[in-house]
Amino acid sequence: DEELARLAMAMETEHALQGEIIIRQGQPGNHFYIIQSGQVSIHKNTIDSGRRLSVVVPENCVTTVNAGGFFGELALLNEDLRAASVKANTDVQLLTLSRADFISHLGPVSELLAQAHDMSKNGMGDRRSVIQAERRSRRSTQSNNPIQRPLRLDEMIVLGNLGQGSYGTVKLVQGTNGERFAAKCQPKYKILQESMQDYVIQECIIMTMCNSPFILKLHSAMQTDRYVYFILELLDGGELYGHLQRLVAFAEPMVKFYTSQVILAFTCLHQVNVIYRDLKPENIMIDHRGFVKVVDFGLSKILDSYKTWTMCGTPEYLAPEIIKNEGHNHMLDFWMLGILIYELSNGQSPFVASDEMTLYERIIKMRPKYPRSFSKQLKDLTSRLLTPQNKRLGNCKEGWAAVCKHLWFSGFDWDGIENKSMPPPLKPVISRPHDYDEDSDLKLVDTEISSVPPCPGWWAKLPQIAAHP
């Protein structure tokens, strides 16, 4: 279960030497313990024993607990005083969990017991099946399927070239009703050459799963024997990175404006169990009004287990768990948000070095230097994001809501962001491609380069998208 796995990550390791008293009867308790190795003895005094409750002697030993056992579980339920003392009979290694961390991840025990009772009463004993049903429901309601009439490849007229990427070109195209799109044209032979078939298909699927005003919209996916085409929403305000280069760094209100939209995009992605994994200013595009959208889902992944181990991402944005090959999950995106907030506020990322090995060593140490220009709240937010994943802000029951509630966002107009009524701090200058031709009658399919070898043996299983209003 995902929640229990998160809970396990929140546990910390402690050591007790032989003869050490781990907890004493009569003292307040707020930690639960699991024995990884060694043995402890449980000692309990009664009121009529003539001894103080906290005294530990062989005569009041009631039992012993070995590796795999646990004690102190009542501390998760309430704040009552300890009912017994625990002594280490050998050197002991323990996993500990505080009541605060337990509540943060799963909620109060009383609420969990009430939920379990309600589920049992209503014939829903299998909690995992209920959660999976909820996820399926969310996916069906959030499917990016606003199109009524499918777009046709032979209707796309090329007006110019928008850019060149590692796996193809992006062209400005126009449909029969005059609406304009960005067409991502990917040669099949390159996809096969780099064994990127699964990545291309998954990128397409992920964009169809999420209907968010802060995520790039995929209008159609088509193919010939030479190319795979993604017909995408046109974002002609440029990359956020270009504006950052021009201004060097953003004022904190600007950083809030842009990162709040990233948070809402990630909230949508995580709701359908997708981790993004490639956050950076280059992957945040500005629309014609000045609002932003997250783009490029080539490294994103639908998480079908609690962790994944793929080494991927931009070096400066890599989290310690990726570098140390500990496995990563949704918490990776929280780390990357911390890097993004720092970079937008300072002009460069918190971890920089002349070579990758030095860079990775600095990331693992997690000791960024904060400029004096950072407000107290900004420093606190980034420091709570750039921390080990078991303690990272967001690694709790609230998830992204915990970030939204941070003091740095105190008084922030979230409604103004969601309904896009907040005035953007930058008004983008819309420029056309250098080879722009408004009177063009060149069809997209006629731009296929004959020297590109056909690949009739691979026909990508692209999702059917009827999504054009």
In the chain, what are the domain boundaries? Answer: 2-103, 109-141, 153-236+432-447, 240-418
Residue 9 confidence (pLDDT) above 70: no
Q: How confident is the model at residue 59 (pLDDT cuts 50, 70, 90)?
A: confident
pLDDT at 124: 45
Q: Does residue 201 or residue 141 have the better pLDDT? A: 201
- Is 278 known to be catalytic? yes
pLDDT at 51: 77
Mean pLDDT taken over the chain: 87
Q: Are 270 and 399 in contact (CB under 8 A)?
A: yes
Q: What percent of the chain has pLDDT above 70?
A: 87
Residue of 345, 348, 346 lying closest to 317 (CA atoms): 348
**Which of 278, 287, 296, 333 is flagged as catalytic?**
278
Q: How confident is the model at residue 251 (pLDDT cuts 50, 70, 90)?
A: very high
Half-sphere exposure of 266 (CA within 13 A, CB side): 27
Q: Are 435 and 281 in contact (CB under 8 A)?
A: no
In one letter, which amino acid is 125? G
pTM: predicted TM-score of the whole model, two decimal places: 0.74
2-103: CATH superfamily: Jelly Rolls (2.60.120.10)
DSSP letters of 218-284?
A: EEEEEE-SSEEEEEEE--TT-BHHHHHHHHSS--HHHHHHHHHHHHHHHHHHHHTTEE----SGGGE
Q: Stretch 201-206: mean pLDDT, rounded?
A: 93
In one letter, which amino acid is 47? I
Q: How confident is the model at residue 82 (pLDDT cuts 50, 70, 90)?
A: confident
d(CA 97, CA 468): 51
pLDDT at 7: 67
Q: How confident is the model at residue 468 (pLDDT cuts 50, 70, 90)?
A: very low
Q: How confident is the model at residue 424 (pLDDT cuts 50, 70, 90)?
A: very high
Q: How confident is the model at residue 395 (pLDDT cuts 50, 70, 90)?
A: very high
Q: How confident is the model at residue 1 (pLDDT cuts 50, 70, 90)?
A: low
Q: Do 2-103 and 240-418 share a fold?
A: no
d(CA 55, CA 85): 8
The CATH code for residues 153-236+432-447 is: 3.30.200.20
Residue 307 confidence (pLDDT) above 60: yes
Q: Does residue 106 or residue 315 have the better pLDDT? A: 315
pLDDT at 463: 82
Residue 114 confidence (pLDDT) above 80: no
pLDDT at 26: 84
- The CATH number of 240-418 is which of 1.10.510.10, 3.40.50.1220, 1.10.3330.10, 2.130.10.10? 1.10.510.10
pLDDT at 464: 73
Binding site annotation covers 376?
no
Q: How many of the other CB atoms lie within 10 Å of CB of 6?
A: 22
Q: How confident is the model at residue 142 (pLDDT cuts 50, 70, 90)?
A: very low
**CA-based angle 298:310:382, to the nearest 5?**
80
d(CA 404, CA 397): 13
- Contact residues for 126 (Cβ-Cβ < 8 A; gap 6+): none
Residue 145 confidence (pLDDT) above 60: no
pLDDT at 309: 92
Q: How confident is the model at residue 134 (pLDDT cuts 50, 70, 90)?
A: very low
Residue-level length of the chain: 469
Residue 450 phi/psi, 5° resolution? -65, -25
In one letter, which amino acid is 14? E
Residue 88 phi/psi, 5° resolution? -80, 115
pLDDT at 306: 82
Q: How confident is the model at residue 151 (pLDDT cuts 50, 70, 90)?
A: confident
d(CA 260, CA 355): 32
Residue 226 confidence (pLDDT) above 90: yes
Going by their DSSP bridges, the two strands 301-302 and 274-275 should be labelled as antiparallel
Q: Are 229 and 444 in contact (CB under 8 A)?
A: yes
Q: Does residue 59 or residue 227 have the better pLDDT? A: 227
Query: How far is the CA of 419 from the CAs of 87, 143, 291, 404, in angstroms?
Result: 59, 20, 11, 16
Residue of 101, 122, 103, 34 lying closest to 71 (CA atoms): 34
Q: Stretch 39-54: mean pLDDT, rounded?
A: 84
DSSP symbol at 11: -
Q: Stretch 359-364: mean pLDDT, rounded?
A: 97
Q: How confident is the model at residue 102 (pLDDT cuts 50, 70, 90)?
A: confident
Cα-Cα-Cα-Cα dihedral sign, residues 194, 199, 200, 201 = positive
Residue 52 phi/psi, 5° resolution? -65, 150
pLDDT at 116: 57
Q: How confident is the model at residue 121 (pLDDT cuts 50, 70, 90)?
A: low
Q: Stretch 65-90: mean pLDDT, rounded?
A: 87
Q: Does residue 300 or residue 468 have the better pLDDT? A: 300
Q: Stretch 279-293: mean pLDDT, rounded?
A: 97
pLDDT at 165: 78
Q: Stretch 245-264: mean pLDDT, rounded?
A: 97
Q: Does residue 64 or residue 150 have the better pLDDT? A: 64
